Amino acid sequence: MSLLAKGILKGMAVTAKNFFQSYYRKERLPTVQYPEEKSTITPFTRNFPFLLYDGDDAVDGMRCTACTLCERACPPQCIYIIKDKDEKGKPILRPRIFDIDTSVCMSCQLCVEVCPYEAIRMDSAFELSNENRFEGLLINRGDLLKSNDYYHALNPVEARETDDRIAAKNALAEAKKKARQKKTRLAAAKAKRPPSRLKKSPPAREKPPQPEKSE
């Protein structure tokens, strides 16, 4: 019987130690009184995706170009995109409809990884309960669009990296554009030169006499 008591008593001592420590040791007090008090969540937490826009106007500044890469990469197929058109029926590079069914979304972040335009990011908002389980959980374009400032508040590190990447990409595109313009200008100049040389050639022919004059 004394043997029986020994191991159990040792265990009880551990329990007692933990019990008393739970009143004063800070790392033993992890409980947060939820609705009144909110625990801080890390900015890297991912929940559901949202769309980003630049500037003030959500629709004009939309980064998404409706390329549907994310729609195709989404494992449970919960993204639905329809491209926009102007009045004449010409396609515009932005989605008219962009829906994400958050009751299906599995928060996997694959859409974020495939997007080439840095247009879609993961949100970490978590109080998302809704009374309507069909329309309420199907989030449409208007509710998905969030400003870049929102992203900066959400995850400053990643947002800054994204901005840098976009700036670098824009600079590269600008440089390329300039190079292309230069090239086309050169090409145009080249294309123009032959006739100009023909025109200029008579004076060139006249040139030789000039040195003679100078001599």
State the nearest-atom distance from the C-beta of 199 to other proteins, in Å: 52
159 belongs to the binding site for ligand SF4 (CB under 6 A): no
117 belongs to the binding site for ligand SF4 (CB under 6 A): yes
State the nearest-atom distance from the C-beta of 4 to ligand SF4, in Å: 55
State the nearest-atom distance from the C-beta of 108 to ligand SF4, in Å: 4
Task: DSSP for the chain, please give it.
Answer: -HHHHHHHHHHHHHHHHHHHHHHH-GGG-----TTTS-----TT---SEEEEE-SS-TTTTB------HHHHH-TT--EEEEEEE-TTS-EEEEEEEEEEETTT-----HHHHH-TTS-EEE--------S-TTTTTEE-HHHHEEEHHHHHHH-HHHHHHHHHHHHHHHHHHHHHHHHHHHHHHHHHHHHHHHHHHHHHHHHHHHTTHHHHHH-
| Chosen from ligand SF4, other proteins, none, partner binding at 159 (C-beta under 5 to 8 Å by type) | none
User: Of these, 92, 93, 157, 186, which contacts other proteins (CB under 8 A)?
Assistant: 157
15 belongs to the binding site for other proteins (CB under 8 A): yes
Interface positions, 68-107, toward ligand SF4 (CB under 6 A): 68-70, 74-76, 78-79, 81, 100, 105-107
10 belongs to the binding site for other proteins (CB under 8 A): yes
Query: Footprint of other proteins on this chain (CB under 8 A)?
Result: 3-4, 6-8, 10-11, 13-15, 18, 30, 41-42, 44-46, 73-75, 106-110, 113, 122, 157
